[in-house]
Chains A and B, each alone.
Chain A
Amino acid sequence: MSDFWSMLFVFVLATFIGLGVIRRVSRLLYTPLMSLTNAISAIAVVGSIVVTGADHPLTIRILGAIALFASMTNIVSGFMITDRMLKMFKKQ
């Protein structure tokens, strides 16, 4: 059970860091903030890679590949659209 407590510890600390950092985000940037955090949480891609690529039964790997596709879509479109929006703010 020790892994449970260390994971919970990480979760609580990360939440506090998140609250502290996000509170200071410029109000102008809430829309790009949402697309950026969306891209970042698509780090779930690492889970999908393991499920897809390891030597698992075929159906499991199909589920993993769909999840990998969904996460990758979020990563690509999330970072690209965030940058596109931020460019509009920066050129001023």
Chain B
Amino acid sequence: MRLIGELSAVLATALFIFALYWMNDPKTARRGVIAGIIGMAVAVLATWMQPEILHHGWIVVAIVAGFLVGVPLSRVPLTAVPQRTALSHAFGGLAAGLVGTAEYFLWLGEHAAQFTPFRTGALVVEVILGFLTFTGSLMAAGKLQEVRWIPQRPVTYPGQNFVNLGVLGLAAALGVVLVIYPTAAWSGQVFIAIAALALIFGVLLIIPIGGADMPTVISILNAYAGLSAVAMGFVLDSKLLVTAGALDGSSGLILSIIMCKAMNRSFTNVLFGAFGKAQPALAAGAEQKVWKQESVEGAAQLLEQARSVVIIPGYGMAVAQAQHKVRELFDALTKRGVTVKFAIHPVAGRMPGHMNVLLAEANIPYSALVEMDEINPEMPQTDVALVLGANDVVNPAARYAKSTPIYGMPIIDADKAKTVLAVKRSKNPGFAGIDNELYVLDNTWMLFGDAKAVLGDLVKQFGGGGIH
């Protein structure tokens, strides 16, 4: 049995690495899922077969419950994938925190010899990371789902960073105490205090964070969830857990770095910077420029006469669930010989890769999806840039306005296109509260309205023979 356990762990580890390796190409990626499932099944069955497992009924009930909740969670609309992802980080954190808690009280009751300083330390790390990931991810999921009692706008107050670091510091200090005195009469209370502080810290960490930072925050929470699994591996002496957790952690780390670079910000700045704070108006006192509104007919004509069109999607497209209308527009234009490409900013939407998945759902060929760095040199030759519910990622102020939080953030050069059409829900400024001068450029025309409705009207212009 011991042999089966070890063999299955080695096999599962190899399969997990292959699963991630196959994600380097959409053609082989589904193979990765199968490898992952086999690896997981092998590891679960081998563990279940171990002789110390006696209460099979409990395991069956928990697994069945996991299926009952997991299957519906996998069928959410793709626009809800960011909150589903945040929720799954929360579940991962919860599992690590609870197993850590169970192990601590188990050792306290029966196996005090387990409390080597190293393992107690790993246990403290597991519980802190697990519980802070749990509440932090729940908050993030709530914000993304726009749950009513969770404020969408960042909540900030004076001394916030001091309070946050104080809570975390106190938890860490109590952790040190626990490592030194793991079995004192009051150690159980210390442990519970650590868990409570970690739960509180997770909430405090996320309340100052706004929607535009979600891609980075979700990636960081992903890394935390992975690291809590690593800590659990140290506690349980399981190399399989350490490996799988490290794979998850490094994935979260890489995505966080990519997201931070795409916003020209540091980790600490994202977590302690409160990006969404309302900023003073960019050009206070300067002449107020006005928007030029375009009719749907005019916009359709512009698009039809273009030779190349670059569509720049943003969160507005996801909110309006407009991706299928985008596809219809893509078809209509392509049929008329217009070259249509999509410019994807790394932080467009609410999680890494959000736009790619939505457009893939609408059957837009992924060869038409172009990364920011590749599309920008083409922008000056582009006839029409169609901005679709994107805002900060096309704001030219990022190039020079040092007073704005988006200063230095690489942007898609929509303003360099010969004509810009911008579809926007309302006349309010974008999430970061910054005016977007793209909308008042000489060559920009605005189309106000819900992205799906506007696109629907546009497509009708082509379909109904309104032009031809």
Binding site for B on A (CB under 8 A): 1, 3-4, 6-7, 10-11, 14-15, 17-19, 21-57, 59-61, 63-92
With A14-B243, A53-B55, A73-B91 in contact, do A34 and B352 touch (Cβ < 8 Å)?
yes
User: Is there an interface contact between B105 and A80, defined as CB atoms closer than 8 Å?
Assistant: no
Q: List 8 A-B pairs, minimum CB-CB distance, nearest first.
A: A72-B66, A76-B70, A30-B353, A18-B250, A80-B74, A41-B248, A14-B246, A31-B353
What is the minimal beta-carbon distance from A41 to any residue of chain B, in angstroms? 4
A1: chain B residues at CB < 8 Å are 116, 118
What is the minimal beta-carbon distance from B221 to any residue of chain A, in angstroms? 10
User: Is there an interface contact between B250 and A29, defined as CB atoms closer than 8 Å?
Assistant: no
Q: Does B296 contact A (CB under 8 A)?
A: no
Give the complex CA separation of A19 and B102 in angstroms: 32
User: Is there an interface contact between A36 and B47, defined as CB atoms closer than 8 Å?
Assistant: no
User: Is there an interface contact between B88 and A86, defined as CB atoms closer than 8 Å?
Assistant: no
Most central of A10, A43, A76, A81 by chain B CB within 10 Å:
A43
A59: chain B residues at CB < 8 Å are 105
Chain B facing A: main interface SS: helix
A81: chain B residues at CB < 8 Å are 73-76, 81, 84
User: Is there an interface contact between B99 and A27, defined as CB atoms closer than 8 Å?
Assistant: no
User: Is there an interface contact between A25 and B20, defined as CB atoms closer than 8 Å?
Assistant: yes
User: Is there an interface contact between A37 and B102, defined as CB atoms closer than 8 Å?
Assistant: no
**Contacting residue for A52 out of B55, B67, B103, CB 8 A:** B55
What is the minimal beta-carbon distance from B252 to any residue of chain A, in angstroms? 7
User: Is there an interface contact between A88 and B357, defined as CB atoms closer than 8 Å?
Assistant: yes
What is the minimal beta-carbon distance from B32 to any residue of chain A, in angstroms? 7
What is the minimal beta-carbon distance from B100 to any residue of chain A, in angstroms? 9
Q: Does B27 contact A (CB under 8 A)?
A: yes
Q: Which residue of A lies closest to B250 (CB)?
A: A18
**Contacting residue for B29 out of A29, A41, A66, A91, CB 8 A:** A29
With A36-B23, A43-B241, A47-B236 in contact, do A71 and B33 touch (Cβ < 8 Å)?
no
User: Is there an interface contact between B29 and A56, defined as CB atoms closer than 8 Å?
Assistant: no
User: Is there an interface contact between B85 and A38, defined as CB atoms closer than 8 Å?
Assistant: yes
Q: Does B58 contact A (CB under 8 A)?
A: yes
Q: Does B237 contact A (CB under 8 A)?
A: yes
Q: Which residue of B lies closest to A23 (CB)?
A: B254
